[in-house]
Structure 1
Amino acid sequence: MLAALAVIVLLGVVLLVLPGLMVDHDLAGGRLAAADRLNAVNNVRATLLQTVGGAVVLFGAYATWRQLRVSQDGLNATREGNITDRFSRAVDQLGSDKLDVRIGGVYALWRIADHSDRDREAVVSIMAAYLRTHLPWPPQESAVPAADVSVNSVPPLETRAADAQTALTCLGVLYQERRPEWLNVSLTDLRRADCDGLWLRGVNFDGACLEAASVYQVNLSEASLIAANLRHAELGTSVLRRARCLRADLRGARLVKADLRSADFSGADLREANLRKVRAQAAVFVGADLRLADLRGCDLTDTDLREARLEGALTSDLTIWPTGFDARTAGVVVTADPGIEPDNLLPAAALTRRVPLLQSQPTHGSSASAN
């Protein structure tokens, strides 16, 4: 109250007394007619009023900005608190014994990651950990199809573990931001998983089982698939540039039009694999087994084929070999090019199809399962 009264008194002095004093000071003892002096005083008063008004406007703007800043800080704090509460509840849901509750928890975390960049890395890491703990390879629970059963007896992942399939999809969508830089999904049971269109660049799938999985148009650049089981997997048009596939089992896999440039398949088993029209420039197939593989239309420019086995592999006039490589001596079979490749199966059909029996037997030390 006193402060307001003081402000009023000060304004009164400024507007009523100060203009006259300023005019008298400027006159320096001179005289003006009463009317002229009044006009001069009013002009000074008007200028002072404009100055005071401007100051009031500036002060009001500053006060409003401060209020908005305080309000925004409060809203941010409330928002962070809400996100933390939602995050905690969603994580708790993942531990539920009810499937629908676990799926709800995955979607809740997914939504949080969509709206909070700060939580994206944590959510992606949680999804990876969820897959590792709920889908260990080899399987440890009696209710899960055993490692040695035919993949034709294994239901699609979305049927036998819908929560894990949702977590895998969430991971593959959110991981496009490349945070964290390295993700571990090794030693997981992803048989007949639906990975179509996901972004899995640089993910560690070492020792994982993706037998008969649908991995169509997936970005697996720089991914690690060392000793992974990819038998009968659908990898058509996927990108595996600089991927590490050492000792991977790709028997019967379909890699039509895939990008394998600079990938490392040293010691990999690619017998009966379909590699038609793949781009494999500068790839490494040292010691790889490519017997009975389909290499028609494959570009193997600058590829390292030292100690690779190619007996019975199908090739055509469109197959491009490394400079100096003698394909005839390697025992390949030259046949007609198949022409335009058929469209890929829809995911549902790809995941439920019965895979054919393989002619080739597993190599020593590989994980064998009935076909």
Structure 2
Amino acid sequence: MTQRTKRTVITGAVFVLIIGYALLLWRGPWWIDGAHLRERGLQPADGVVITGFRTTLVALGAGAVAALGLWYTHRNHELAQRQFEQTQEQFRLTQEQFTHTQKKDRDQTSLASEGQVTERYVEAIKLLASDRIAERLGGIYSLERIMGDSSRDRGTIIEVLAAFIRENARIPSEPFETPLDYRAPEDIQAAFTVLVRRKAQDDGNAVLLTYADLRGISLRGGRFDSLVLGGARFDRGAFWDVSLTGANLSSVNFSHVAFYGGSLSGSALYFADFQHAHLSNVDMDGSVLQSANFKEAFLHGCSMRDVDLQNAIIDQTMVTDSTTLSPEDLAKAKIRNATHIPDRLISDPAVIRRLVECRREQESADSSEEEPSA
């Protein structure tokens, strides 16, 4: 049965029911109880029977209409519920499809991005091997840009730049003097600058730069954390607000280096050479300065709490009043003549005893040098 035929049948049935109901209201009392009702000259008793029948019929009709309304409402509710469930299912499927598409797009974007990074990385490496300084600088700064764009490649790029410095900044084997106006080669300066200004999250394994020739390096800001620079040379360099906190700087040559601000706190500076160095307002708290050489150095406004100056050479050194240094720490150093020490330190008994000991040691060394010539 088609939908149209079904509607026609239902409409006809409803029409018949309405006609039948109307007939029942009109003639029903006589059809049901016609033997006791008059056709004409109705009496009060006949009116009671007719009214009761029609009232009952009206109540039944109202009940039927109410029941039909409830059924229709229930049916609509079920249809609405099914539609809602279908809509929910369709939304879930659409969401799953969207999530799948989004993941696929992300994967494709990631692959494309990795491909671009790889191409850029290869080109940058080629530039590093160039004979032209401008191209090498371009390669270094391209690697820095890639390091910022790709967290996965940061460790590799740091190692590449460190290897570039190790290969191209080797300390000459023959003795040499560093000229007064010496400046680091531009590519070495650029590569080292990129390493020291990298982000904190780039830290991984220690970066090995031992015995690197970094003379004449000039830095503003940055940090040496995780750099191993034992035996490196920084002669004639300049550092403004650079953090060397916790760095391995044993036997590093800082002669004629200027430090302005920044930090050397907690660093290992065994046998470090600070001859003629200028240190102003540098945080050196907790540094290990055993056997470090401060001959003719200038220390102004430095914080040197809990430093280890065991056998450190303080010779013709200028230590200003603004430098924070305890007598107990200074008394561990080898204090030579012509050294300027603040009154609060030079008057301390421990420092006085140490001065006397150092003078005797110096006199003994001088006399032992004179004996062979005699």
Q: TM-score, normalised by structure 2?
A: 0.71
In structure 2, how many angstroms separate the alpha carbons of the residues matched to 1:314 and 1:222?
29
The answer to whether the aligner puts 1:76 opposite 2:110 as a matched pair is: yes
Q: Which residue matches 2:48?
A: none
Deviates more, 1:250-259 or 1:83-92: 83-92
**Alpha-carbon offset, residue 320 of structure 1:** 8.6
Q: Distance in 2 between matches of 1:272 and 1:260?
A: 18
SS class of match (2:198): helix
Letter aligned with residue 83 of structure 2:
L
Alignment partner of 1:325 is 2:350:
yes
Return closer, same or farther for 1:98/1:205 CA change in 2, 3 Å cut-off. same
Is the contact between residue 274 and residue 294 of structure 2 (CA under 8 Å) also seen in structure 1?
yes
Over 3 Å counting, the alpha-carbon distance change for 1:226 and 1:138 in structure 2 is farther
The answer to whether structure 1 residue 203 and structure 2 residue 220 are counterparts is no
| Distance change (3 Å), C-alpha of 1:100 and 1:119 | same
> Which residue is equivalent to 2:329?
303
Alpha-carbon offset, residue 38 of structure 1:
4.6
Please give the residue correspondences for 1:40-79 in structure 2 after superposition, counting only pairs within 5 Å: 40-79=74-113
Whichever structure has more strand as a proportion of its residues is 2
Structure 1 counterpart of 2:238, one-letter code? S
> Would the aligned equivalents of 2:345 and 2:351 in 1 still touch at CA under 8 Å?
no
In 1, Cα distance between equivalents of 2:168 and 2:112 = 34
Deviations 1:214-235 (A, max 9, x none): 1221111121222222111011
Supply the AA of the counterpart residue of 1:152: L
Aligned length: 293
2:368 aligned partner: none
The match for 2:176 is: 148
Could you tell me how far apart the structure 1 residues matched to 2:166 and 2:89 are? 64
SS of aligned partner of 1:128:
helix
Are the equivalent residues in 2 in contact too, given 1:279–1:299 (CA < 8 A)? yes
- With over 3 angstroms needed to count, the CA separation of the structure-2 counterparts of 1:64 and 1:32, relative to structure 1, is farther
Alignment TM-score, normalising by the size of structure 1: 0.72
- Whether 2:166 is the aligned partner of 1:132: answer yes
Kept after mapping to 1: 8 A contact 2:236/2:257: yes
Change (3 A) 1:74 1:193: same
Q: Please name the residue that 1:292 is paired with.
A: 316
**Alignment check: 8 A CA contact 2:198 2:222 kept:** no
Q: Match for 1:123 among 147, 157, 166?
A: 157
Question: What whole-Å deviation, never above 9, does each CA across 1:56-89 have from its counterpart, x for those lacking one?
Answer: 1222122111111111122112212221222122
- Alignment partners' CA distance in 1, 2:246 and 2:194: 20
C-alpha distance 49-190 of structure 1, shift in aligned 2 (>3 A): same
1:232 and 2:253 aligned: no
Give SS of 1:247's match: coil
Amino acid at match of 1:309: I
In 2, the alpha carbon distance for the partners of 1:202 and 1:263 equals 16
Aligned to 1:316: 342
Q: 1:248 & 1:104 partners in 2: Cα distance?
A: 34
Pairwise CA distance, 1:196: 2.4
Contact 2:330 2:351 in 1 (8 A): no
Q: Which has the higher contact order (CA 8 A, sep 6+)?
A: 1
Query: 1:237 is matched by which residue type in structure 2?
Result: G
How far did 1:94 drift? 0.9
Cα distance in 1, alignment partners of residues 203 and 346 from structure 2: 38
Question: What is the letter of the counterpart of residue 119 of structure 1?
Answer: D
| AA in 2 matched with 1:311 | N
Provide the rounded CA distance (Å) in 2 between the counterparts of 1:202 and 1:179.
Answer: 7
Q: Secondary structure at the match of 1:241?
A: coil
CA distance in 1, matches of 2:191, 2:156: 13
What is the alpha-carbon distance in structure 1 between the residues aligned to residue 64 and residue 191 of structure 2?
Answer: 89
Q: Corresponding residue for 2:304?
A: 280
> What is the distance in 2 between the residues matched to 1:48 and 1:199?
65
| Higher alpha-carbon Rg | 2
Which amino acid is the alignment partner of residue 325 of structure 2?
L
Matched, 1:249 2:273: yes
Percent of residue pairs bearing the same amino acid type: 20
Question: Could you tell me how far apart the structure 2 residues matched to 1:147 and 1:218 are?
Answer: 29
CA–CA distance in 1 between the matches of 2:114 and 2:320?
Answer: 56
Cα displacement (A) at 1:172: 0.7
* Larger relative helix fraction: 2
Q: Given that residues 214 and 233 in structure 1 are in contact (C-alpha distance below 8 angstroms), is that contact kept between their aligned partners in structure 2?
A: yes
Give the aligned CA root-mean-square deviation in angstroms: 2.8
Unaligned runs of at least 5 residues, structure 1: 1-11, 13-30, 140-145, 332-371
Contact 1:261 1:279 in 2 (8 A): yes
CA contact (8 A) 2:291 2:309 kept: yes
Counting only pairs closer than 5 Å after superposition, residues 214-229 of structure 1 correspond to structure 2 as 214-229=238-253
CA distance in 2, matches of 1:273, 1:240: 16
User: Is structure 2 residue 190 aligned with structure 1 residue 166?
Assistant: yes
The alpha-carbon distance between structure 1 residues 147 and 120, as it changes in their structure 2 partners (threshold 3 A), is farther
Q: Distance in 2 between matches of 1:118 and 1:76?
A: 12
Determine the C-alpha separation between the residues in 2 that align with 1:325 and 1:273: 23
Mapped partners of 2:207, 2:231: distance in 1:
14
